[in-house]
Amino acid sequence: MVKDDCIFCKIAAGEIPSKTIYEDEKYRVILDLGPATRGHALILPKNHYANLFELPEEDAKEVICLAKKMATIMKDKLGCDGFNLVQNNGEAAGQTVFHFHMHLIPRYENDGQEIGWKPGSPSQDELEEIKKQIAGE
């Protein structure tokens, strides 16, 4: 369940050192080496799944529960003012390491980071078309 040439597999297994802030049988949570803000961390499953689409449903539930648990601890310990959970899938979405991971990003008033998007302005017709494409009639 690990991939030979995957750096996050090696970090999750403890073969490459990391600043680990939590570990259990299935997950390791590490500090990001290129943090958006102070305390930016990553949840890594120890099994290799390239992205959300490969992640088993049971693991997806565990990841979100772990994210909540870590965010709660980090908010308390770091005294941050807000929190972003970010999870990128595919190059087009900004994924650079193709081993599933969830970003835990503490936010501070005036931290100067921009994590977001430019809002579009679709017409009601466009929204209706998209709705039908995804959800049917």
Instruction: Indicate the residue among 3 and 26 with the shorter CB distance to Zn ion.
Output: 3
Q: Residue 7 gets which letter from DSSP?
A: H
Instruction: Indicate the residue among 95 and 113 with the shorter CB distance to ligand AMP.
Output: 95
95 contacts ligand AMP (rule: CB under 6 A)? yes
How many residues are given for the chain? Answer: 137
Q: List the one residue out of 101, 122, 102 whose CA is nearest residue 49.
A: 101
Q: List the one residue out of 105, 96, 104, 100 whose CA is nearest residue 9.
A: 100
34 contacts ligand AMP (rule: CB under 6 A)? yes
In this chain, which of 20, 21, 32, 85 binds ligand AMP, going by CB under 6 A? Answer: 32
User: Which region among 4-12, 31-39, 56-64, 126-134 touches Zn ion (by CB under 5 A)?
Assistant: 4-12
User: Which region among 50-58, 91-99, 115-123, 124-132 touches ligand AMP (by CB under 6 A)?
Assistant: 91-99
CB 123, CB 49: distance < 8 Å = no
CA 20 – CA 47 distance, rounded (Å):
17
CB 49, CB 55: distance < 8 Å = yes
User: Which residues bind to ligand AMP, rule: CB under 6 A?
Assistant: 7, 18, 30, 32-34, 88, 94-97
User: Which residues bind to Zn ion, rule: CB under 5 A?
Assistant: 3, 6, 8-9, 48, 99
